[in-house]
Amino acid sequence: MTSELFSPLPLRSGQILRNRIAKAAMEENMAGDGQLPERRLLTLYRRWAAGGTGLLITGNVMVHAEALTGPGGVVLDEHAPLEPFAEWAEAGKSGGGAVWMQINHPGRQVASDMPGVVWGPSDVAVDLGRHSGRFGRPTAMTAQQIEDTVARFAVTAGRAEQAGFDGVEIHAAHGYLLSQFLSPLVNRRTDRWGGSLENRARMLLDVVRAVRAAVSPSFAVAVKLNSADFQRGGFEADDARQVIELLAPLGVDLVELSGGSYESPAMSGRPAEGLKPGGRPAEGQKPGGRPTESRGTGARPADDRTRAREAYFLDLAEDLVKTSPLPLMLTGGITRRATAERVLDSGVAVVGMGTALAVTPDLPDRWRSDREAERQLAPVTWSDKTLAAAAGMAQVRHQMRRLARGSEPRPGTHPAIALVSEYRKQRVALRGYRAWLSTSR
């Protein structure tokens, strides 16, 4: 009997995903000249396309040329030529699956050495303790800037369809702009975009409406949403439930659940150092985040830790799926087929994987033939959580860069080496981005 993992999934738009396995977005930071996709990205996506996934979601593509998450970010705005994006879409679809473009605006999560703008719902800066200076100080957006940004999302989505992509995913998670508007910690506005959850969700809902109006009915529109921010007083699971209900009438095909932000990098496998949404200590953990002994389960603490590293937003997803009017996708820590099947058994419709596919790009095909990955990327357990999260992302990017060169992944690379290498590449990319921005805008 065919596993549900390999059964098709029809979506509202009429699009049918060939199976329930998706490559979730990972920020490649591999733009070529002009902040455009080039040969390395095409090679990388052909490699993933050949691995058996039903859906590939690109790393975030920026809707505003003056606001990038990193200097190697790809930009698709009204000025960008479409041919490189058409080639990217073709590469992503070369294995028979669908390819969606994730579209994003960083808001306040912009490095302090980047040119351009640093915007947010309010002038609340990213708080990373002694690392806070890494990010620019945001200015609160005006009503006109909000409306212009909504329009930018629609332009990018419409041009993605023209280039041959099958859909877009609007990024409203991980502390980026739309997630910032949702967060009561970051959004301190007193106008129509602040205060109540309905007001804080207004920009996201306007973006979805504008995107849906800019694309054809058969083009998929998805939203990536935090199941929780994992910060005291922040966006919580009940907020996510209400936002999903608000999205349901707007023609959304799928909601991907993740969690965290740069301030609380739960998406890197560090769910707020032992905090449940709302700041409550998680079961089996003390308020300081140190695991306690498991109680009454018969499981060893090591087994508990292994489960916590896999599908680490599943508990929240299991709760949200009970009431969700939309199909859900869950991303975060899934590396084994048994874990993926447990996610689907919970009622989640699509299993999203990032790091696992950076190390083993043909993992879905392996699962189909009852094989598992031979290697995994070890978590970075440095005491400095900010540096650990950065090193973890650098390790993943190191694997993607190897795949993009046509080489095999090397998950044994020391995280410090990956971090230093990534820093050097970003310095080179920053010089290129500054030069391009100064001449093109």
Residues 421-438 have a mean pLDDT of 96
pLDDT at 236: 86
pLDDT in tens, 344-396: 999 999 999 999 999 999 999 999 999 999 999 988 999 998 899 899 999 99
Does residue 409 fall inside a structural domain? no
Count the domains in the chain.
1
- Tell me: the pLDDT tens digits for 403-422? 999 999 999 999 999 999 99
Q: Is the pLDDT assigned to residue 288 strictly greater than 50?
A: no
Domain contains 201: yes
In the predicted structure, residue 83 carries a pLDDT above the cut 80? yes
Residue 64 contacts residue 78 (beta carbons within 8 Å): no
pLDDT digits (tens, 9 = 90+) for 192-250: 999 999 999 999 999 999 999 999 999 999 999 988 766 777 788 899 999 999 999 99
Q: Which residue has the higher pLDDT, 1 or 383?
A: 383
pLDDT at 237: 87
Residue 345 lies in a domain: yes
Provide the token pair at 185. 């910690």
Distance CA 312, CA 94 (A): 31
pLDDT 10s digits, 3-46: 699 999 999 999 999 999 999 999 999 999 999 999 999 999 99
Burial of 336-374, coded b for 16+ CB within 10 Å and e otherwise, reads bbebbbbbbebebbbbbbbbbbbbbbbbbbbbbeeeebe
Token pair of 84 as six digits? 């490189």
E strand or H helix at 182: helix 177-182
Q: Is residue 434 part of a domain?
A: no
Q: What is the pLDDT of residue 229?
A: 65
Residue with more model confidence, 358 or 269: 358
Residue 356 inside a domain? The answer is yes
Whether pLDDT at 63 is above 50: yes
Q: Is residue 411 part of a domain?
A: no
pLDDT category, 313, cuts 50, 70, 90? confident
**Above 60 in pLDDT, residue 431?**
yes
Say if strands 74-75 and 9-10 run parallel, antiparallel, or are unpaired. unpaired
- Residue 27 CA from chain centroid, whole number: 8
Query: Is residue 267 very low, low, confident or very high in pLDDT (cuts 50, 70, 90)?
Result: low
pLDDT for res 264: 59
Owning domain of residue 306: 4-291+299-378
pLDDT, residue 195, reads 96
Confidence of residue 265 (pLDDT cuts 50, 70, 90): low
C-alpha 103: how far from its chain's center? 10
Q: What is the pLDDT of residue 274?
A: 34
Greatest pairwise CA separation for the chain in angstroms: 64
What percent of the chain shows pLDDT beyond 70? 86
Write down the pLDDT at residue 386.
Answer: 85
| Predicted confidence (pLDDT) at residue 292 exceeds the cutoff of 50 | no
Q: Which residues pair with 224 in a beta bridge?
A: 171, 256
> Taking Cα atoms as reference points, which of 222, 115, 207, 110 lies closest to residue 166?
222
Q: What's the confidence (pLDDT) of residue 50?
A: 98
Q: Tell me what pLDDT residue 145 has.
A: 98
Q: Could you tell me which residues come within 8 angstroms of residue 250 by beta carbon, excluding any fewer than 6 positions away?
A: 205, 208, 209, 212
We report the CATH number of the domain holding residue 215 as 3.20.20.70
Of 322, 252, 333, 342, residue with least CA distance to 4: 342
Domain assignment of residue 407, yes or no: no
SS (H, E, C) 361-412: CCHHHHHHCCCCCCCCCCCCCCCCHHHHHHHHHHHHHHHHHHHHCCCCCCCC
Determine the pLDDT at residue 130.
Answer: 86
- 152-176: pLDDT as tens digits: 999 999 999 999 999 999 999 989 9
Average pLDDT, the chain: 88
**Residue range 305-326: mean pLDDT, rounded:** 77
Query: Where is pLDDT greater, at 87 or 277?
Result: 87
Q: What are phi and psi of 103, to 5 degrees?
A: -120, 140
Residue 243 resides in a domain: yes
The pLDDT value given to residue 352:
96
**Higher per-residue pLDDT: 305 or 299:** 305
SS (H, E, C) 86-133: HHHHHHHCCCCCEEEEEEECCCCCCECCCCCCCEECCCCCCCCHHHHH
Classify residue 386 by burial, with Cβ atoms within 10 Å: 0-12, 13-18, 19+: middle
